[in-house]
Structure 1
């Protein structure tokens, strides 16, 4: 994708290494103008140097910001976004972004439990800053592999003394934090959780008996784009007559992008609907979370979905 209308050109004024695999970037408006305000839990969409578009949570309370701060983890199986941010973005780099959006807003309640795993600390840190400013009661449980892999560790402990519980499992599932004591009895407090899939699943499991709406999640990876048993296939572009091969380890969108086709996209995780494309022929393997059943016969989300067997013909 390329971010078109409504994009904000920003310049990176600071890069800071938080851990061996997490870098923090500070962005200001390239033209020196004001940046839109945001609320805790918000994210911005960034066009990375690889042209892959990714969403990153904002750190800070967001009131009249003179800069945006994001933290990016270099993913071992990076599909281009995080790798290009780590390898190509330095102070002075220009990045095109979309204005902040918030799918993970704080509700106004008396008490909060904030749970973070790994890079999921970014929206949680933002929420904690706001709650501390407002004098609200809250506590944080922050799970990582080791102290060295704990972004903002010292800042959190200094800013919120007595409110932060750190837990390091050394990558051993048997040493994962036991959340049952926090959820055994439903409470009036609200819970906000952001982190990797195993953490999310654990919190959902132990909070199933809580009233609806009390436990809130932020997850930028709801869809597994590539799976171990995926196979190569071809897509024919009906309008141009060209054919593009989609490797087993890439999405249709990525294959098109690498072959010079600029098609609209945004989330690149099957949740927003921007890359919806008319399907003219072929048997699709739908992996998105957007399409209605009646749309699936002739529509496909090319950021995540594939061919179930044979090849596909797209109206492109």
Structure 2
């Protein structure tokens, strides 16, 4: 491969992306997941602008009522409308998933690219660090970090923003390892190719090698990992909130709604059903899209 031809690889043509889209469209489950994901994201973003019901309005006369025309998802133990809270909470849960994905992808890509490009002692140290993080029990460590630092971060940034920042950093900071390994494996193959040798011979700096010649060629791995990381972030945030270490009780994330509904499962199962269904459908859709993207970026896959 010549240095000139590598430029074509670094900057994919429109036809390449069209082929990827065609392969993605052949996967019916991926299309279903994408459709459901678009519906969910559209609903949580613009839904509260059309469904004008307060998420905080308390009406004890309507406490724990089942779904009806007035309250399509029923009400909780305080008489608050469940549909309004599911729509509002979806914004927070999806934002946590997206931002924690950004943290995980950033850390994993940088560490994997540096380890694969430099090799030697740097590679060994970074991979041992990756192995160390992989060996840690994630959920207990998440609970410990959030428990130790949540009061401090609340004082610094406020109860809602502080917990949001802490949860995003902790989730993203404990989920970058698989991305780092995938990126490192691809970089180890790329650095042996002729266009990398040509770029180094022409005096390209390590930063340019990573940003111009390496990242475009590992983009498919990063995109697939990013997709799956969003679902993992949503699940982890819901777990923290369900265990009482997430957002404050007056912030209706999907996990927080499940936490509040756990004592009413016998006579008001709808309080847990709808937020649980939102988590299930969202994460399942994201996983379907991730599987579809993985197959679409692999030209050897035939549907």
TM value normalised by structure 1:
0.23
State the structure with bigger RCO (CA 8 A, min sep 6), 1 or 2: 2
TM-score using structure 2 length: 0.24
Higher normalized helix content (fraction of residues): 2
In terms of fraction of residues, the more strand-rich structure is 1
